[in-house]
């Protein structure tokens, strides 16, 4: 069992790549001679600070996260998490890899085909961290790039015991037999194609997959516990989110200055801006919706023309160190709002600001309470604009919730109750919107208009922190950019 982690990784080398992860006898070498499956300070000092395992997050913080999970587990139990697998578009053409968020949160390990096991015995403060990873393989690395390997799982990622991923079937049964309960979300649903996916799912009749090994164990869901851990952000996490929010907001503000003929051109400039200004890339596939395209909440084709006299709704954000930012802004394609567009926009902005002002712990609120505040404000505002708001009017015009948790996921801590009180250092979005169908039920001059305004917000004790304030949203500020 361990109590503390090595806060700064220790690097060692073996004579050849094929021997790394098998030979324990080692000598210290220059970091320039080392290769790993992800950036580290010794190999990428321009990306990773000393002591950090991933951008902005230290090796010690990852230990504290595992220790926090351990405190929530009952005695003599284990938590088991699997890394994401590589997803293929067709043949050998793969999608960009994105690590499973809970696995990443506890390990900082960003490679596929890995399993983490956190074992708790009779102590509330000690745990054993087992990490199964791909071994070093010269032939595979020739094609797919460097792997960290088994030895680095200990030396770099602070595993107490590290194993070849192919040893899971032989090593895991003993851990399971000694545990009274197993916490995991491994279930094996959905279409799987790779060998690792079939192993995790247990869908290969020739292989005793991980899911099959768990069938005889007392299995309980891990996600609710992970949600409790992830929903409150540390100072290091907040720093990552502030950077993502600040840069993303500035990129969107700069885009408002531009003159674009197509949604695709605007999308390209946003993606370029996020990466060139210091972020890792896009946090999600953005919505770049001109005119009536904004009536589809998750419109992501982004292939239409932008027309003079219409507005464009942009829901986009960048990612830093795995942490995302979520922003929506709506602005006129030609730089000037029409009177109906301005009236609707300012009404929605008023509702948004009312909700943002309540994002404080001392306001004693929840996501569902904030939604009701948004509904009341929008309903009253729509009445003033000449809308009939009886019956299901608001369900049609405002069909989504006003906010959600954010962090490593765009919708962070999935399943965490919206009825829970919002506490300091939790992060959410506030995103009221109105989407007016082309229907005789609604005033003519508003039909086909879709407007949403969204910010990422940190819950403060007594004061709100808007993480995306660099994205302007006042009418006069927006119009000044286009003039």
Give the model confidence (pLDDT) of 146-189 as tens digits.
999 999 999 999 999 999 999 888 888 888 888 899 999 886 44
Residues 17-30, mean pLDDT to the nearest whole number: 40
Tens of pLDDT, residues 422-480: 999 999 999 999 999 999 999 999 999 999 999 999 999 999 999 999 999 999 999 99
- In the chain, where does the domain assigned CATH 3.90.230.10 lie? 232-482
The pLDDT score that the predictor gives to residue 219 is 86
Q: How many CA atoms lie within 13 A of 398 on its CB side?
A: 27
First to last CA, the chain: 64
Ramachandran assignment for 290, one of left (phi > 0), alpha (psi -120 to 50 degrees), beta (any other): beta
Model pTM score:
0.90
Residue 9 scores a pLDDT above 80: no
Residues 310-317, mean pLDDT to the nearest whole number: 98
Torsion of CA 318, 319, 320, 322, to 10 degrees: 180
The pLDDT score that the predictor gives to residue 11 is 41
The pLDDT score that the predictor gives to residue 81 is 95
Residues 66-88, mean pLDDT to the nearest whole number: 94
Q: Which of 467, 224, 476 is nearest to 359 (CA)?
A: 467
Residue 92 binned pLDDT confidence (cut-offs 50, 70, 90): confident
- Angle value at C-alpha 298, between 99 and 371, nearest 5 degrees: 95
Q: Which of 427, 424, 425 is nearest to 409 (CA)?
A: 427
Residue 12 binned pLDDT confidence (cut-offs 50, 70, 90): very low
Tens of pLDDT, residues 389-410: 999 999 999 999 999 999 999 9
β-pair type (52-54, 57-58) = antiparallel
Residue 211 scores a pLDDT above 80: no
Six-digit token string for 356: 């943002």
| CATH fold for the domain made of 17-229 | Creatine Amidinohydrolase; Chain A, domain 1 (3.40.350)
User: Using an 8 Å Cβ cutoff, are 336 and 366 in contact?
Assistant: no
Residue 197 scores a pLDDT above 90: no
User: Using an 8 Å Cβ cutoff, are 270 and 256 in contact?
Assistant: no
Six-digit token string for 204: 């290969």
> What's the CA gap between 322 and 53, in Å, rounded?
12
115-145 CB burial, b ≥16 within 10 A, e <16: bbbbbbbeeeeebbbbbbbbbbbeeebeeee
Q: Coil, helix or strand for 384?
A: helix
User: Using an 8 Å Cβ cutoff, are 250 and 277 in contact?
Assistant: yes
Q: Coil, helix or strand for 326?
A: coil
> What's the CA gap between 156 and 36, in Å, rounded?
10
Ordered DSSP codes for 169-188: HHHHHHHHHT-SEEEE----
β-pair type (465-466, 455-458) = antiparallel
- In the chain, where does the domain assigned CATH 3.40.350.10 lie? 17-229
- Angle value at C-alpha 20, between 48 and 149, nearest 5 degrees: 50
Residue 218 binned pLDDT confidence (cut-offs 50, 70, 90): confident
Of the candidate CATH numbers 3.30.360.10, 3.40.50.880, 3.90.230.10, 1.10.10.60, the domain formed by 232-482 belongs to 3.90.230.10
């Amino acid at each position: 069992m361990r109590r503390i982690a090595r806060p700064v990784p220790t690097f060692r080398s073996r004579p050849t790549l094929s021997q790394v992860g098998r030979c324990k006898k080692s000598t210290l070498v220059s970091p320039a001679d080392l290769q790993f499956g992800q950036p580290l300070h010794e190999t990428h000092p321009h990306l990773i600070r000393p002591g950090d395992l991933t951008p902005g997050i230290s090796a010690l913080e990852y230990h504290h996260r595992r220790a926090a999970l351990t405190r929530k587990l009952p005695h003599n139990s284990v938590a088991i998490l699997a890394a994401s697998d590589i997803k293929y578009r067709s043949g050998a053409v793969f999608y960009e890899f994105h690590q499973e968020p809970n696995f990443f949160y506890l390990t900082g390990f960003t490679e596929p085909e890995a399993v983490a096991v956190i074992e708790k015995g009779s102590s509330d403060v000690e745990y054993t961290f087992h990490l199964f990873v791909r071994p070093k393989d010269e032939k595979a690395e020739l094609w797919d790039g460097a792997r960290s390997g088994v030895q680095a799982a200990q030396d770099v990622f602070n595993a107490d015991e590290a194993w070849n991923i192919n040893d899971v079937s032989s090593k895991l049964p003993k851990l399971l037999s000694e545990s009274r309960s197993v916490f995991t979300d491994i279930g094996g649903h959905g279409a799987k194609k790779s060998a690792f996916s079939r192993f995790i799912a247990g869908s290969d009749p020739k292989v005793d997959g991980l899911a099959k090994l768990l069938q005889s164990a007392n299995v309980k869901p891990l996600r609710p516990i992970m949600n409790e851990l992830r929903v409150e952000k540390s100072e290091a996490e907040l720093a990552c989110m502030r950077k993502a929010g600040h840069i993303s907001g500035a990129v969107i503000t700069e885009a408002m200055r531009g003159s674009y003929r197509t949604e695709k051109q605007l999308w390209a400039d946003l993606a370029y801006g996020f990466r060139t200004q210091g972020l890792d890339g896009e946090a999600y596939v953005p919505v770049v919706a001109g005119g009536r395209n904004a009536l589809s909440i998750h419109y992501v084709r982004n292939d239409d023309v932008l027309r003079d006299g219409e507005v464009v709704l942009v829901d986009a954000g960048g990612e830093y160190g795995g942490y995302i930012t979520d922003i929506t802004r709506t602005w006129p394609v030609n730089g000037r709002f029409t009177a109906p567009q301005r009236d609707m926009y300012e009404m929605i902005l008023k509702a948004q600001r009312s909700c943002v002002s309540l994002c404080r712990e001392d306001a004693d609120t929840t996501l569902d309470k904030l939604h009701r505040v948004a509904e009341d404000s929008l309903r009253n505002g729509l009445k003033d604009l000449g809308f009939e708001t009886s019956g299901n009017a608001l369900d049609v015009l405002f069909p989504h919730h006003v906010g959600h948790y954010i962090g490593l996921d765009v919708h962070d801590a999935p399943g965490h109750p919206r009825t829970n009180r919002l506490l300091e250092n939790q992060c959410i979005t506030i995103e009221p919107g109105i989407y007016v169908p082309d229907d005789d039920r609604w005033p003519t001059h508003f039909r086909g208009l879709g407007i949403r305004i969204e910010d990422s917000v940190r819950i403060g004790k007594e004061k709100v922190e808007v993480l995306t304030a660099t994205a302007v949203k006042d009418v006069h500020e927006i119009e000044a950019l286009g003039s």
